[in-house]
Amino acid sequence: MSAGGSARGHRALPHTADIRIEAWGPTREACLAEAVAAVVDGFADTADLAGAPAVRAASADLDADTDEDALLAVLDEVIYLLDTEDAVPVTAEIERTAAGVRARMRLVSVRGLDLGGAIPKAVSLSGLSIGADGDRWSCTATIDV
């Protein structure tokens, strides 16, 4: 978790059964990258991840017509990689493309990591938001675990 006053960061918000995250950054893409970090923080220890050997770099071109679509697409991709490749991103860089966004991630294997119970499985449309206030982008999302 990053400090609330910094230019970019993320934190967990209270939710009874699932995980609710907030992320922010100076650009939409930075905000999306922080959202990825927030979801990973929800179930993995950052120190464990830093020490894990990288499996590979991944790049995904994701279609998105709107900012909300971009947020959903990026978080969906994290969940998909976890379920199909047993992999979790330790870094994520997001860039804008003509069709949506490109997510470049460095992945590590979750095998052997001491993961928490709150493994993300889907992104809810309830309470989903993303937008800019001046030069600060922020987003919220509720993740089913």
Partner 1 sequence: MELIEETPYRFRIDRHGQMRVPGVVYASRALLPDPAADRSLDQVVQVATLPGIVGASYAMPDMHWGYGFPIGGVAATDVRDGGVVSPGGVGFDISCGVRLLAADLDRREFGPVRERLMDALGRDIPRGAGRGAVWTLAGQPEMARVLREGSRYAVRRRGGGDRDLYRCEDGGAVDDADPEQVSARAIDRGLGQVGSLGSGNHFLEVQAVEEVYDERVAEAFGLRRDQVCVMIHCGSRGLGHQICTDHVRAMEKAMPRYGIQVPDRQLACAPVESPEARAYLGAMAAAANYARANRQVLGDAADRVFRAVTGRTLELVYDVSHNLAKIETHEVDGERRELCVHRKGATRALPPHHPDLPPDLREVGQPVLIPGSMGTASYVLTGVPGGGAFFSTCHGAGRLRSRHQAAKSVRAKDLRRDLERRGIAVRGASARGLAEEAPAAYKDVTEVVAAAEGAGLARAVARLCPLGVVKG
Residues engaged in binding partner 1 (CB under 8 A): 12, 14-19, 43, 45, 72, 76, 79-80, 82-86, 110-111, 114-119, 121-128, 142, 144-145
CA–CA distance, 37 with 35 (Å, rounded to integer): 5
* Cα separation values, 13 from 9, 22, 41, 93, 113, Å: 13, 7, 12, 23, 24
Nearest distance from residue 8's CB to partner 1, in Å? 21
Q: Given the complex with partner 1, which of 93 and 144 has the nearer CB atom?
A: 144
Tell me if 38 sits within 8 A of 12, measured CB to CB. Answer: yes
Answer positive or negative: Cα dihedral of 144, 94, 113, 86: positive
Nearest distance from residue 24's CB to partner 1, in Å? 19
Q: Given the complex with partner 1, which of 114 and 133 has the nearer CB atom?
A: 114
Q: What are phi and psi of 100, to 5 degrees?
A: 165, -110
Q: Given the complex with partner 1, which of 1 and 7 has the nearer CB atom?
A: 1
Q: Given the complex with partner 1, which of 26 and 60 has the nearer CB atom?
A: 60
Report the residue count for the chain.
145
For the record, the structure tokens of 89 come out as: 């991103």
